[in-house]
A and B are shown apart, each in its own frame.
Chain A
Amino acid sequence: MNLDPKVPDGPLAEKWTRRKFDLKLVNPANKRKYTLIVVGSGLAGGSAAATLAELGYNVLCFCYQDSPRRAHSIAAQGGINAAKNYQNDGDSVYRLFYDTIKGGDYRSREANVYRLAEVSVNIIDQCVAQGVPFAREYGGQLANRSFGGALVSRTFYCRGQTGQQLLLGAYQALSRQIGLGKVKMFPRAEMLDLVVVNGRARGIVARNLTTGKIESFAGDAVVLATGGYSNLYYLSTNAVGCNVTAIWRAYKKGAGFANPCYTQIHPTCIPVSGEHQSKLTLMSESLRNDGRVWVSKRPADRRPPDQVPEDERDYYLERKYPTYGNLCPRDVASRAAKQVCDEGRGVGETGRGVYLDFRDVIRRLGAAGIADKYGNLFQMYERITGEDPYKLPMRIYPAMHYTMGGLWVDYHLMSNLPGLFVLGEANFSDHGANRLGASALMQGLADGYFVIPYTLGDYLVNSKVLGEKVAADHADFRKAEEDCKAQVRRLLSIKGKRTVASFHRELGHVMWEYCGMARTEVDLQKALQKIPVLREEFWRDVTVLGDGEELNPALERAGRVADFLEFGELLCLDALQRRESCGGHFREEFQTGEGEALRDDEHFCHAAVWEHQGAGRPPLRHVEPLKFDYVHLETRSYK
């Protein structure tokens, strides 16, 4: 497997400028001769499709939702980072770069991260020009807020709807190109396979979700921007349709899958209320600025929270991390919550929750003061739980939120398969083992607006794909199409007894129990035994009703769960083999005396890249060593 990262020579700050100059340009007159396939219309895919079309390429863009505007990027609340230093508080491209590398626990590629920080400033300008209504100060200047993992205020935001507004910006740019005929949009279309012809990615097979038609689309390059795979855990903060299918099928066609075990768990979500739960809702992290996290000192304490006296409360974050207290990073806060619940001190019906208490701050500022700051969040909490957080403390629990792993890409965002580019959360590139808040939006837009337009052109020229047009009736397309049709037929013909959702729920349970917030060799081995058994049962006993020639949500989900059932095994395998703790990957065997993550830079300062070896054969683990020429590897401490 060719894992050459193609990082440019020269000083860090000049790498991207130099590379941009070296990249080959496509003759403007030739651009319209190329057809590019973009799968995904989120921040990454939407911005890429729009920008590529503006350059003159013909673009086919796909998304599974009924409109490109509904991609899951829409749900991001907090904000987007950029090294503008508008606040004059000492921010710089280098500081953003440094914070991101450190936040990622030194498991990302320096050159990529630096470029991300570098183009972050252009993103804000571009979005403002598109009419994204970023928050403003009274003087009319752009406003900033602070976010976890940074000491400067560099996060731009649109109320609690930043992702939505950024996505609408990209969607509007995309819509303009659709209107101009440069982009052909395929909503309600799910990519089922990648087609590789002569070693190069040349197209996809997709199912029209309305008519059920399975069809091939050929082009000169394929861009995947299909988001993250948190839904492997069944319950996550992701939209219910988020899936691993596109990148998983690409992996099975030869693309390397990097660091699948790097998953991020968000500490402040509303806890599960019962079996029926279909997704988890994030409560903004900002609540931890004023709320105090606690549980009772006694296990199995059934008293209502207001009857637990002060001295019987354990404000465990303040106790363990006196400096950062309730504001310690996501992974640390999440693990601490799990720990107290494992001790039987969890709260709520299920015992899987901790209190986030606003009593003290309400006493200090009054209910009105709190309503001013968090009114809508309190309302959202009450709507979901039916409890009034002005009177009772909130109950929160960590939940799966983001996946740092994804398809391996080089500096050009191209996977090891020539012609296959991967953007946004779907790739593994910039966040290492842990992502800082407000950096995913930045990465998606950096990839789509400012990286892919340059690097893709270079590929098109160098690979001379134009001389080698492939049509959608090529034998390799036919074969892939047949395979997809066969899978649909197979799913519909099992006619078993268990629903797709029940398999998904069980898989999620296995993943969360044995490969969740804290992982051990024993647990991972258990998961690796259970998953294949469940998979076998799925293919024997699943029930999918209705037919394949129409809208069939159960069938869609069956395909996604089938892929999760394969992918989960790879994730556990990766977690097993990464015998260290880093960022979101915490192996209980590898911790400091105080229970903090213990990295092993000597053996694991690399990206693990998995290569598919065919059904039934274990995948091959490759590594891309990570070299740090600029930053110094340190141990994170939040005491």
Chain B
Amino acid sequence: MNLTLHIWRQKNAQAPGRMVPYVMSDVSPDMSFLEMLDVLNEDLQKKGEEPIAFDSDCREGICGTCSLVINGVAHGPDRGTATCQLHMRRFKDGDTITIEPWRARAFPPVKDLVVDRSAFDRVIQAGGFVSENTGGAQDGNCIPIPKVDQERAMDAAACIGCGACVAACKNASAMLFVAAKVSHLANLPQGQPERRRRARKMVAQMDAEGFGNCTNQYECEAACPKEISVQFIAQMNRDYLRAHLATKEEKAAVGVG
């Protein structure tokens, strides 16, 4: 099939960017979206033009590297699908497709379709863990964990850290990502000792990174390749509220305040 692509090109963070049209012919419907871009890049290089930079690694929807806004939708039209899993049979001959990077102040551009998502790493560094040194763990079966709790924790833990939630949200809010990690650990006994402190610290870091605020629009859930539920946002809101309603002594003990 033949396609017209409008792709964002930007030399580096300082340079201004613009949409550039490309015409592609003979696109096979069996190609993945990224393979289609590979082919375009091959053609560009043969013509002596610099290829389009975009991020990808696993190409099977688990590493969270790929990150394209396709026709205004983060990760493209299929629900529960990362960009790398999207296939060209989803499009029709003659279609025009716009391709843009994640856009958010907290994800500064690097080049073309590549952005810097290290803000997510810093949010995790602020508290997205269980403070457990290697070596001292007791037997894994010592604390039985109800299956429902484990399943719920797993639902949240499935987040691949891609940032589509931020890209899709009108407010460029990172709530779904942060809530997924907070809730993953909050649903397990291991996460309890640091539960409130974790919520507090991660939210503070999220704010410091310059993400927007959530106004409950649920666009993030629709774009999320792992279909993480916005119910986890509600859960985090609860945890956060509790962290702040705690007594002074409790706060001192968990380091909140």
Question: What is the 8 Å Cβ interface bit string for chain B, positions 33-55, against chain A (1 contact, 0 not)?
Answer: 01110110110011011110101
Contacts of A546 in B (CB 8 A): 50-51
How long is the Cα–Cα vector from A296 to B122 in the complex, in angstroms?
Answer: 56
Please give, as numbers and ranges, the residues of chain A lying within 8 Å of B101 by CB-CB distance. Answer: none
Q: Contact flags (1/0) for A84-118 with B, using CB distance below 8 Å?
A: 10100000000000000000000000000000000
Segment of B1-9, B150-158, B164-172, B228-236 in the binding face: B150-158
- Contacting chain B: which of A17-25, A133-141, A480-488, A573-581? A133-141
Residue pair B130, A131 in contact (C-beta under 8 Å) = yes
Residues of B within 8 A of A240 (CB): 56-59
B144 contacts A by Cβ under 8 Å: yes
A140 touches B134 (CB 8 A): no
Interface contact B110-A210, CB-CB below 8 Å: yes
Contact check, B59 vs A449: say whether CB atoms are below 8 A apart.
no
Q: A65-B57, A131-B191 are in contact. Are A554 and B134 (CB under 8 A)?
A: no
A463 interface residue, CB < 8 Å from B?
no
What's the tally of chain B residues with a CB closer than 8 Å to chain A? 79
Given A131-B188, A176-B125, is A383 in contact with B81 using a C-beta cutoff of 8 Å? yes
Report B-chain residues with C-beta under 8 Å of the C-beta of A277.
Answer: 35
CB distance from A257 to the nearest CB of B (A): 25
The 8 Å CB contact of B118, one of A47, A66, A127, is A66
B36 contact set on A, CB distance < 8 A = 276
Say whether B29 faces chain A, with CB atoms less than 8 Å apart: yes
Q: A281 vs B11: C-alpha distance in the bound complex, in angstroms?
A: 32
Cβ of A462 within 8 Å of any chain B Cβ, yes or no, is no
Interface of chain A residues 237 through 267 with chain B (CB within 8 A): 239-241
Q: Is the CB of A179 within 8 A of B64?
A: no
Q: Which residues of A contact B247 (CB under 8 A)?
A: none
Contact B51 A545 (CB under 8 A): yes
**B121 part of interface (Cβ distance < 8 Å):** yes
Selected interface stretch from B91-99, B135-143, B207-215, B249-257? B135-143
Q: Is there a chain B Cβ closer than 8 Å to A543's Cβ?
A: yes
Tell me the complex Cα distance, A610–B181, Å: 45
- B residues near A124, Cβ cutoff 8 Å: 140
| CB atoms of A75 and B39 under 8 A apart | no
Q: List, in ascending order, chain A residues with CB within 8 A of B111's CB.
A: 550-551
Q: Say yes or no: B134 contacts A173, CB within 8 Å.
A: yes
Task: For A67, give its contact among B31, B143, B161 (CB under 8 Å).
Answer: B161
Task: Let me know if B12 is at the binding interface, CB within 8 A.
Answer: yes
Complex contact B121–A175 (CB within 8 A): yes
Q: Is the CB of A130 within 8 A of B60?
A: no
- Is the pair A449, B134 in contact by a Cβ cutoff of 8 Å? yes
The minimal Cβ–Cβ distance linking A452 to chain B, given in whole angstroms, is 11
9 contacting pairs across A/B (C-beta < 8 A): A70-B65, A131-B188, A131-B191, A133-B184, A239-B59, A273-B28, A273-B30, A545-B50, A551-B53
Given A185-B121, A241-B57, A386-B29, 17 further pairs, Cβ under 8 A = A51-B133, A70-B161, A124-B140, A125-B139, A130-B129, A158-B154, A176-B129, A178-B121, A240-B56, A273-B30, A277-B35, A278-B59, A383-B85, A384-B87, A385-B30, A550-B111, A551-B111
